[in-house]
Amino acid sequence: MQRRAPGQQSSPVDNSRNPEQASIWFVGLPQVVAAILGIILYGLLSHVNLIILVPTGTLDVFLPALLIPLLFGVIYGPWVGLITGGFGFLLGDYVANLWLHDLSWGNGYLFYGSALINFRDLIGWNGFTGYLANGMIGLVAGLTQILTRRRYNNF
Is 66 domain-assigned? yes
> Residue 32: pLDDT above 80?
yes
pLDDT in tens, 84-137: 998 988 888 887 777 665 544 444 444 444 344 444 544 555 567 778 888 888
Q: Tell whether pTM > 0.85.
A: no
The stretches of 27-142 forming alpha helices (DSSP H) are: 29-45, 67-76, 78-99, 128-142
| Domain assignment of residue 148, yes or no | no
Question: Residue 138: inside a domain, yes or no?
Answer: no
Domain limits at 127? 26-131
**Cα distance between residue 81 and residue 71, in whole Å:** 8
Q: What is the pLDDT of residue 33?
A: 94
- Domain assignment present for 19: no
> Does 4 fall in a domain?
no
Backbone dihedral angles phi then psi of residue 75, each to the nearest 5 degrees: -80, -45
pLDDT of 133 reads: 85
| Selected residue with higher pLDDT from 140 and 93 | 140
Per the structure, how many domains does the chain have?
1
Question: What integer is the mean pLDDT of 54-66?
Answer: 64
pLDDT at 20 over 50: yes
Question: Would you call 80 exposed, middle or buried from its count of C-beta atoms within 10 A (0-12, 13-18, 19+)?
Answer: buried
What percent of the chain stands above pLDDT 90? 14
**Is 153 inside a domain boundary?**
no
